[in-house]
Structure 1
Amino acid sequence: MEILSIAAIQMCSVHDRNKNLNTARVLMEKAVQKGARLIALPENFSFIGQERENITFAEERETGEIVHFLKKFSMKHSVAIIGGSVPLRSSSKAKVTNTCLVFDQSGVIIGSYDKIHLFDFHLDDKTVYRESHYVKHGKHIETVKLFGHIMGLCICYDLRFPELFRKLMLRGMEVLFAPSAFTMETGKDHWEVLLRARAIENQCYVVAPAQYGRHNDERISYGRTMIIDPWGRIMAQCQDMEDVIVCEIDFAFLGEVRKHLPCLKHIRRKLFFLGEA
């Protein structure tokens, strides 16, 4: 498949999980109507509240309400889903995993990724995030194969660590998914720059579904969901509203970029302990 229609969802999730799932359903149905065959949701699409509450809302990987919601939608509409991220129970009773689940067109979970880099940020006394207090670090990078192509997975804060994406590229990544909930403070200066850099340096498409707006008295997300091509150009971008963007990903164009500017072949892999070319 050389052309694939991909949708990225932008939401303003809140404490009410039922409300969030209803919003997600409406936006996902809109994506289906626009012809999307693969739909990507933002980080924490089902719930945003106090960080410690993720433990209360955590589910089992195979049997939870959110998993059932995504599986059912995928099966009904025959679409693949990059499930943003959801809190799943871990081996520690005091922590959850922040996990992106991937469903194929028949609703089968074909892969998952636990967020590796956790967002601990202290801007001032009123702006403090301590994700690592309640979330367990992931330990493995992950790619999945959908529609005959390799998709790389990351979540939000991971975007600041380029070594992760070089490893994903060496595994054959053609499209990077970056479900996120960037803060307003960091997003206004860093969001677009990081996304475009990841696309340019790895010569891949980047699909970045994001949270936007005020979730509660303490938290505001930047938004600006984007889809970016391998040349680093923004193909589509959401404004400050709950919405969906849909773009056609052209794998032939990706091949042309890598052919005419073959920087991925010029990596000094042995020098940087990346193996032989």
Structure 2
Amino acid sequence: MPTAPSSATPPVAAVVQLTSGIDPEANLATIDAALGDAARAGAAMAFLPEMSVLLDRDRDRSAVHVAREADSPWPAAFQNMAKKYGLWLHTGSVPLLTEDGSQRVNRSHVIASDGDIRARYDKIHMFDVDLPTGEKWTESAAYRGGSDIVVVDTPVGRLGLSICYDLRFPELYRALVERGAETIAVPAAFTVPTGKAHWHILQRARAIETGCHVIAAAQGGQHGDGRMTFGHSLIVDPWGAILAEVSDDTQGATHAVRLASIARETYDKAAKAIPLQRSRSARNIML
């Protein structure tokens, strides 16, 4: 039976910022420590960033670690951590192989506190860009985009799933809301140039336009593969207010954890103040 948030005691979400590197075992040890911090602080659910277990743009070097889900040790490691600390876990994402082994997928898992995997989501939109700074990223060269829109019941409400570059496609978030999403996860590994320009704006916009809480766990700092990520993990309420943020003064730390209550009243208040669904339904009748 789904776990419903209580208006008397709103569930606490923990957003975890990491600086994941090219060694999965080291990353898993850091994640374990971070989840322990989150559990001791009273979190009902913790959220990790994109590529939480392995962040390596050298695809040849990382290939030794990337397997089909059935053959990968990572989901079981996350399941054990969820049970160990008695909290729900959004794994951010990990690289896995498709069943035929021909491509990778960028996959999130939602794991209950008993270790049961409640949902999977494969990143839909591939990050294929040429930035003005000269940075070039072609995610589709190795990764296959997903096609399923996923919403799952969790302690922090009905959770809609997305990953990083998905953030720039508001139609996905509208589809999540139409499927009942009340809270949205946006794990990310934003580049520094795009983060400085758009990170806060886009996260707050998605929260405001959907009337949902947005929980955006991010990679931040200098990584083992040489890249820099923007950080600034956020929890944003449905009115666009930032409830929690990892600031720049945590650079150099192995991880940072920030917490915020996910109050149902905030969701309801925003829906009453700006009745988006009612206005949208009325407009659809006119068209």
Aligned partners of 1:127 and 1:218: how far apart in 2?
13
After alignment, is 244-253 or 54-63 more displaced? 54-63
Aligned to 2:278: 265
RMSD of Structure 2 on Structure 1 (CA): 2.0
Aligned partners of 2:213 and 2:133: how far apart in 1?
38
Q: Any idea what SS the aligned residue of 1:14 has?
A: coil
Aligned to 1:222: 230
After alignment, is 166-175 or 248-257 more displaced? 248-257
**8 Å CA contact retained: 1:55, 1:87:** no
Change over 3 Å in CA distance of 1:141–1:51 after alignment to 2: farther
Aligned to 2:50: 43
Alignment match of 2:258 (pick from 241, 245, 248): 245
The 5 Å alignment of 1:113-132 reads: 113-123=121-131, 126-132=134-140
Aligned to 2:209: 201
Structure 1: where are the runs of 5+ without partners?
A: none
**8 Å CA contact retained: 1:43, 1:181:** yes
CA shift, 1:243, in A, is 0.3
Q: Deviations over 1:39-68 (max 9, x none)?
A: 100000111112524543223324522111
**8 Å CA contact retained: 1:55, 1:134:** no
**8 Å CA contact retained: 2:55, 2:225:** no
**8 Å CA contact retained: 2:22, 2:225:** no
Aligned partners of 2:131 and 2:161: how far apart in 1?
28
Q: Deviations over 1:155-184 (max 9, x none)?
A: 000000000000001111110000000000
TM-score (norm 2): 0.90
Aligned partners of 2:256 and 2:221: how far apart in 1?
12
Change over 3 Å in CA distance of 1:163–1:212 after alignment to 2: same
TM-score (norm 1): 0.93
Is residue 72 of structure 1 aligned with residue 80 of structure 2? yes
After alignment, is 155-164 or 15-24 more displaced? 15-24
Aligned partners of 1:76 and 1:27: how far apart in 2?
13
After alignment, is 227-236 or 148-157 more displaced? 148-157
CA shift, 1:95, in A, is 1.3
The 5 Å alignment of 1:159-174 reads: 159-174=167-182
**8 Å CA contact retained: 2:108, 2:121:** yes
CA shift, 1:231, in A, is 0.3
Aligned to 1:136: 144
CA shift, 1:269, in A, is 7.6
**8 Å CA contact retained: 1:225, 1:237:** yes
After alignment, is 4-13 or 208-217 more displaced? 208-217
AA in 2 matched with 1:90: T
Aligned to 2:116: 108
Q: Any idea what SS the aligned residue of 2:130 has?
A: strand
After alignment, is 34-43 or 50-59 more displaced? 50-59
Q: Any idea what SS the aligned residue of 1:70 has?
A: helix
Aligned partners of 1:148 and 1:198: how far apart in 2?
17
Alignment match of 1:90 (pick from 98, 111, 116): 98
Aligned partners of 1:190 and 1:23: how far apart in 2?
28
Change over 3 Å in CA distance of 1:221–1:269 after alignment to 2: farther
CA shift, 1:88, in A, is 1.5
After alignment, is 180-189 or 236-245 more displaced? 236-245
Structure 2: where are the runs of 5+ without partners?
A: none
Aligned to 1:52: 59
Q: Deviations over 1:85-113 (max 9, x none)?
A: 01112045341110001101101001110
Aligned to 2:191: 183
Aligned partners of 1:24 and 1:67: how far apart in 2?
13
**8 Å CA contact retained: 1:115, 1:137:** yes
AA in 2 matched with 1:44: M
**8 Å CA contact retained: 1:55, 1:94:** no
Change over 3 Å in CA distance of 1:253–1:216 after alignment to 2: same
